[in-house]
Each structure stands twice: as C-alpha cells, then as structure tokens.
C-alpha cells in the first residue's frame, strides 16, 4: 500500500494420484552441445519442462537454443532463465544477461511451461547457435542407450503429513501451471494477514499476537512488510534485516508461511532500489534457505514505470535469491500499484505476453474493495487462467486505507479469490487508526489479541473468512 504512508512435456510424464511420474530424456551430441530435457510435471492441458544445456565446443558469450514442437497444438506459455519465443512449431530460447557465458563443458539450466491438446510428444532435436545437438540418447537415470525407451525411475510420493499446521501439511510450495501447489502437487490457497510498516508498528508483532494469528485466526500466512523508504530499510539495513529475520523465525515456529515484502512505494520504479534489493535478498535468502515456508515478494507496488522496467528488475534480483534458495516462491509486483496495470490504463496482457524469465514465479495483484471493483475483478478473472496470481495485499476499504468498511465488495472479491484458489494477505494486522487495520487502537499496548473484542469491523470480517477450514489436499 499505502497512499497514506503508508504475480509434460513429453509423453514420459503421467499423473499418478497426486504425484508425477517423470521420465527424463537427454539428447547428446559428440560435438557442439548436449541437451538434457526433463519433464518435471504434467496436468490436463499443461506441462512443465526443464532443459539443461551443456556446451561441448569452444567457449561462447551468447547462445540461442532452438527446437520444434512435434504437435502443432503445443504452445509455450511461460519460460524462465532465458528469453523465450515461439513461431509456429519452432521455439527459441536465448540467454539472459547473467547466463550467456558458457565455457567448454559449462551448463545453463532453463525451463518453461506449455499447453497441449490431443497428444504431447517431446521434441526430437535441438540446436545451439545453429549447431545441431544430435547423437545417441543418454538417459540420466539409466545411463547410455541406443535409442531404446528409458526406464521409469521410482515414483517418490511425500509421506502423509505428521502435523496440523499449514506448513506441516503442505511442505515446500511450487508453482504448477497457474496455481500455487503444495508438496503433493495439488493447488492450494493460503489466507492470512500483512503487517503494517514494521518501522511504525513493530510492537504489534510479538509472541502473543502471532499466537493469536496462528491459533485464534488459524491463518496460513504472515506477510512481513518492510518499507524501504519512509523511515525504513535505507535508514538502517542491518537493523531492519534482523527485524525481518526475527519475524520470519517467529512465524516459522508457529507453522505459518511467511512472505517477506520488500515494500517499495515511493519512488515507484523498483530499479531505484536495485542494489538495496540485491543486498537485502542475498542476506535473507541465505539466512532462510533451509526453510520450506519462506516466500519472497521483491517489489510491493511499482508505479509510474513500465512493465519492461519491472521485469528487468525482477530478472536481476531473482538470481540473487536462487543462488541461496533455488526452491522458494518469488512474487513480482505488477504495474500500477500491482494492479496488473489496470490503475494506469493497462491490463494483464503485458505480463502474459512478456513474463519474467524465471521459475516458481507468481505475480502480485492488490485491490481495495471500496475503490477497485468490476474492471479490476474482470482483469483478475481473465489473468488467472494464464498466469499465477497472488494477492499479497488487499483492503476492505478505499485505496487510502481509510473510509467505510465495504463488506459487499469485500465479500465479492474474496468469493472470487476462493473460487480461483488465489492466495491473499489482508492489510493490516495492526492497531493503526485507519479503518483498514484489523485491531482496535491501543491493542498493541496490551497482551490480548484473541477474539472479536479487540477487532474493528474489518478485522472481524477478515478473521471470520480466514478461520474457516482450509481443507488442504494431500492426495
């Protein structure tokens, strides 16, 4: 917020229950290059493929990988770690600025999601900078073959959950198609609360309040909003990084997912804070790399800047996170205060047609129910079938964070998000005087955060929505 101050390929993978049976395939060349093409997962009408390129020739500083889909109905939908394009059946992936240099025997890992109908055969050949990657097929699991079908590795199914918290049930999350999926490869929705700026309301976040959020509210998600400007991170990077780390540990101890929000608002161009973002996310991703509950929101509300500039920022920050935490979900803010561009006269097509080149990426959408209604909901409805969305912030009031509680519009919004399994965090779990805050003023001076007696009308409504059963699928 805040005006006030405050985001298989290959017939060799088939769904078995909730698990995916992956049949890796590799295409090798005696000279030039080797490509290992691995089917990661497949669902009805969609798939994910990972591609590892190994340069077997002289060192190169830029590369372009080419292949053709055997089925004309197969379409590229989103890619990462390369710039992807498709013309007819032909697909091209070119390096991005940080992975273009490939020494002899060096590799680059890229990937994409796609759609299909009818059948979903794998590509038969690849080229690297125009040189064919041809030769015998090598199966990474069974060793060299002479073209015989690869054997199937054992299917690994996560064991049943042993705990009852959101993290104990769902484990490490990932993006599958347009959904946020749990360790059983099933789409889920997380529901929770966002802090206000921790520089102003740090006293609201303590053992009692987080116990209430996890136990009384039964929240799945805790968003930690660390402003960068406005008396935030830039004034004392070490202290604010430590404060964020402490809150992540507190949420982790209670079995909640935690979303680290790099809360940029003014100026609206995230590139203004690029160096700060790299420093901050290098620190927190290293600190929490072994946790399975941390989500990274790298740009809260970009505004007054093009989607291309936001995408460029994301593609420079994400590799910093991936260097420490290769599995963590990353959420990228969108144009127009994370409105998919709607608040600045655009729409979702700019993201759909030019997605971030990275894996396990989602796109942020924000709304304030009294201000953002029909055309914003229409944009979400359209976008949700094409790109993975996460409502990292929303309010039940107007866009300033104030004004009357709009229960009718808030209900319509949450019903829509529930129907689409889009996760959300409400602004805010704080005792700010503004009407968007859940807690009554002065609550954070005491020790009681449970029940409805400490809540404003908005807080009572949101608590009643969050505390209904999640029914997370585990099979």
Residue 315 is a catalytic residue:
no
Per DSSP, 364 falls in state E
Residue 348 is a catalytic residue:
no
How far is the CA of 36 from the CAs of 89, 224, 344, 437, in angstroms? 20, 39, 42, 51
**CA 204 from chain center: how many Å?**
27
> If DSSP codes are grouped into helix, strand and coil, which group holds residue 232?
coil
Which residues is 33 bridged to in the sheet?
A: 55
* Catalytic one of 297, 315, 393, 434: 393
Identify whether the C-beta of residue 210 lies closer than 8 Å to the C-beta of residue 252.
Answer: no
Of 57, 46, 71, nearest in space to 177 by CA = 46
> If DSSP codes are grouped into helix, strand and coil, which group holds residue 64?
strand
Identify whether the C-beta of residue 210 lies closer than 8 Å to the C-beta of residue 443.
Answer: no
Of 379, 331, 339, nearest in space to 356 by CA = 331
Of 342, 327, 343, 328, nearest in space to 298 by CA = 328
CA distance 251 to 258: 6
Identify whether the C-beta of residue 318 lies closer than 8 Å to the C-beta of residue 99.
Answer: no
The b/e string for 348-373 (b: 16+ C-beta within 10 A; e otherwise) is: bebbbeebbbbbbbbbbbbbbbbbbb
* Catalytic one of 297, 301, 348, 434: 301
Helix axes 457-466, 407-420, angle to 10 degrees: 20
Which residues is 37 bridged to in the sheet?
A: 25, 51
Count CA atoms closer than 13 A to 337's CA, side-chain side: 17
CA-based diameter of the chain, in Å?
73
Residues near 442 by beta carbon (within 8 Å), at least 6 away in sequence: 431
Question: In degrees rounded to 5, what are phi and psi of residue 148?
Answer: -70, 150
Of 15, 75, 10, nearest in space to 43 by CA = 15
Of 189, 200, 259, nearest in space to 227 by CA = 200
Identify whether the C-beta of residue 379 lies closer than 8 Å to the C-beta of residue 24.
Answer: no
Q: Which residues does the annotation mark as catalytic?
A: 301, 393
């Amino acid at each position: 917020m805040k005006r006030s101050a405050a985001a298989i390929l290959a017939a060799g993978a088939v769904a078995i229950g909730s698990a995916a049976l992956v049949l890796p395939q590799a295409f090798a060349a005696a000279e030039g290059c080797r490509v290992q093409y691995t089917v990661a997962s497949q669902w009805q009408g969609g798939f994910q493929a990972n591609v590892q390129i190994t340069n077997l020739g002289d060192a190169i500083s830029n590369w372009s990988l080419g292949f053709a889909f055997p089925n004309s109905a197969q379409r590229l939908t989103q890619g990462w770690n390369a710039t992807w394009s498709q013309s007819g059946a032909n697909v091209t992936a070119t390096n991005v600025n940080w992975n273009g240099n490939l020494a002899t025997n060096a590799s680059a890992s890229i990937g994409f999601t796609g759609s299909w109908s009818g059948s979903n055969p794998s590509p038969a050949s690849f080229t690297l900078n125009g040189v064919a990657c041809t030769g015998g097929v090598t199966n990474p699991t069974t060793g060299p073959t002479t073209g015989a079908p690869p054997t199937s590795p054992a299917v690994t199914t996560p064991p049943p959950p042993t705990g009852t918290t959101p993290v104990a049930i769902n484990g490490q999350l990932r993006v599958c198609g347009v959904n946020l999926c749990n360790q059983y490869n099933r789409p889920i929705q997380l529901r929770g609360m966002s802090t206000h700026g921790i520089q102003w309301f740090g006293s609201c976040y303590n053992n009692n309040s987080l116990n209430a959020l996890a136990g009384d509210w039964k929240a799945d998600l805790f968003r930690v909003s660390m402003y960068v400007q406005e008396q935030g991170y830039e004034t004392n990077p070490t202290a604010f990084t430590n404060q964020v780390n402490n809150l992540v540990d507190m949420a982790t101890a209670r079995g909640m997912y935690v979303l680290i929000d790099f809360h940029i608002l003014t100026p609206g161009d995230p590139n203004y804070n690029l160096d700060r973002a790299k420093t901050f996310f290098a620190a927190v991703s290293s600190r929490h790399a072994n946790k399975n509950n941390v989500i990274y929101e790298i740009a809260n509300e970009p505004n007054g800047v093009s989607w291309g500039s936001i995408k460029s920022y994301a593609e420079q920050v994400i590799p910093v996170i991936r260097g420490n935490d290769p599995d963590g979900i990353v959420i990228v803010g969108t144009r127009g205060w994370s409105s998919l561009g709607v608040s600045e006269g655009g729409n979702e097509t700019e993201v759909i047609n030019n997605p971030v080149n990275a894996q396990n990426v989602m796109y942020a959408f924000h709304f304030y129910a009294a201000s953002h209604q029909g055309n914003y909901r229409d944009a979400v409805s359209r976008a949700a079938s094409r790109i993975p969305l996460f409502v990292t912030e929303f309010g039940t009031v107007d866009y300033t964070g104030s004004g009357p509680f709009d229960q009718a519009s808030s209900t319509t919004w949450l019903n829509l998000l529930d129907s689409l399994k889009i996760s959300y965090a409400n602004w805010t779990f704080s005792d700010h005087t503004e009407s968007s805050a859940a807690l009554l003023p002065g609550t954070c001076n005491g020790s009681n955060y449970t029940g409805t007696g400490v809540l404003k009308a908005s807080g009572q409504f949101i608590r009643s929505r969050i505390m209904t059963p999640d029914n997370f699928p585990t099979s």
